[in-house]
Amino acid sequence: MALFMDATQARLKGDLDKAVPLFEQCLKVDPTNDAAMFELAKIYHLQQRPAEAIVLARKARDLDRNNIWYRFLLADLFEQAGQTEKAIEVYREVLQQWPDRVEVRMQLAHMLAEAGKVDDARKVFEDLREQMGASEELVLQEYGMLANAGRLEEAGAVLKDALAEDPDNLSYLSMLAELYDELGRADEALELYERVLREDPDDSMTRISLAEHYYGQGQLDEAFDELGVAFGDPDLDVDAKMQVMLGFFDMTDRQGAGNAEQEQLLGRAYELVDIMINAHPESGKPLTLKGDFLLRDGRYLEARDAFRAALVHDHDKYPIWSQVLQLDLQANDDEGLKNDAAQAIELFPTNPELYLYHGLALSRLKEHDAAIEALVTGRDLVVDNDPLLAQFWSSLGDAYNEAGKYNSSDDAFEHALALDPKNATTLNNYAYYLSVRGERLAKAKEMSKLSNELSPGQPSYEDTYAWVLYRNGEFAEARTWVEKALVNGGSNEGVILEHYGDILYALGDPSGAWEQWKKARDLGGASGAIDRKASTGRPEAP
């Protein structure tokens, strides 16, 4: 008894590693201790040891056939092990000994149906009706069983029998209407839907079913009229509406843009979302859904506005904050990113990714010391996530470089590459900073070359390689690479055009260089020397 009590205490505390040997010791002392077998079988079940659990549960059942809980455990173990016939047998034994257990009879019926023995299951339902009398619960259970088994006509017969006894039951009528739709009996379905809504115009779930009926018949206007009424009902649970909208989300994928019906569906979907927002002004879910639609459709700033509005109601939902921060970053809204990340950090102070966003924003806003502080704080919160840790080190490399702390910058980049040696962005940035300073150019060349091999066709990476070559005195090859960058989209980047001008000047083409410098000045984004270069036509001050 002392062993059993110690084992039970350990189990209740969740210390299964201690409980198991204690229960096993109980059985060595007393091999017929059915209670210890039962407890140990439950633990084996939790530990995914079904064969051992079944052996013990069987023994416990055989030792004490008057304990119903031993039977329940054994049946559950058989069911989860896929031994359905044996589970059915156990439930039949339970009913022989405890015939009044209605819930066991219900479970038996469903297990028989799962085993494909639908006729046997129906006999169990007959027994239940004799035992309990007619009830809506039994009707719904038997109907669901038959419908799931694909025996739709018989399912319909169950509803008709129930309606014969309770002809005004609107739930039965609505279910029968949905069944008729599934059977292709559209006219009969419509008649029943209309009857239900005449009796109860506020039955919004039936309106949704009627909308599906109209949609299946190609009557889009009628379908959306019904959905509009249902979605405007504040008493209809918002999650039921969300389920409908998930279907529209799939159906209105922009891959079908240009198709008239697709465009109409998309417009209607947005209308329904707005109706939901008005019907549930205290919920962030409809706003989040609108954000998902807008994001998918490439309307990024509107999506961010929707997600921000959702945060008014669901400020503790991290996935929404994550979407807002990503959209801030994508929009190059550094001030917005800074403020949003700061708010998110107040709510989730131990989430390192938020400090990464905050640090990036601060760095772009030239608040270098604050950026470094944020990045160091976030870095120290990372646990068992080398890719994220490498991101922090790489971002610190950028921040330290912008702050003029070059030794710390180089050290941070070395840490980043030790964790992620083939990160093209880290290789490119480190190489570029070295080339600008004219330091360790051989290493810079090697890293820049690798970044282009890892991610070919990136104009910024090609420009970096061109600039490393230029700084190394390899002007002809530098021209080849900067022109690659221009072809791949770099012609809209002021800094790349400025580099092109510098390279052309070094190759003895001052007029060509001057032309590129003037373009770079007009585009913006070049170095602080671009105004002088564009004015004088010379790379150096006179």
Taking the C-alpha atoms of residue 483 and residue 506, their distance in angstroms, rounded to an integer, is 15
The identity of residue 34, as a single letter, is D
Give φ, ψ of 472 to 5 degrees.
Answer: -90, 0
Give the Cβ contact number of residue 398 at 10 Å: 23
Q: What is the pLDDT of residue 13?
A: 87
Residue 166 Rama label (left phi>0; alpha psi -120 to 50; beta):
beta
Taking the C-alpha atoms of residue 426 and residue 390, their distance in angstroms, rounded to an integer, is 9
Taking the C-alpha atoms of residue 79 and residue 104, their distance in angstroms, rounded to an integer, is 14
| Residue 107: pLDDT over 90 | no
| Residue 21: pLDDT over 50 | yes
The confidence band for 72, taking pLDDT boundaries of 50, 70 and 90, is: very high
CB 36 within 8 A of CB 4: yes
CB 105 within 8 A of CB 131: yes
The confidence band for 417, taking pLDDT boundaries of 50, 70 and 90, is: very high
Instruction: Check residue 214 and report its DSSP letter.
Output: H
Q: How many Å is the maximal CA-CA distance in the chain?
A: 107
Q: What is the pLDDT of residues 270-306, one digit of tens each?
A: 999 999 999 999 999 999 999 999 999 999 999 999 9
User: By mean pLDDT, which of 136-150, 248-262, 305-319 is the weakest?
Assistant: 248-262
| Residue 102: pLDDT over 90 | no
User: In angstroms, how far is the first alpha carbon of the chain from the final one?
Assistant: 99
Q: DSSP letter string over 437-479?
A: HT-SHHHHHHHHHHHHHHSTT-HHHHHHHHHHHHHTT-HHHHH
| Mean pLDDT calculated for residue range 238-267 | 81
Q: What is the pLDDT of residues 184-203, one digit of tens each?
A: 999 999 999 999 999 999 99
Taking the C-alpha atoms of residue 394 and residue 409, their distance in angstroms, rounded to an integer, is 9
What is this structure's pTM? 0.75
| Residue 257: pLDDT over 60 | no
> How far, CA to CA in Å, does 353 sit from each of 207, 307, 350, 375, 388?
44, 18, 9, 10, 8
Instruction: Check residue 201 and report its DSSP letter.
Output: T
Dig out the tokens for 13 from the structure.
């505390």
| Mean pLDDT calculated for residue range 108-127 | 86
> CA nearest 423: which of 459, 447, 457?
447
Taking the C-alpha atoms of residue 185 and residue 199, their distance in angstroms, rounded to an integer, is 22
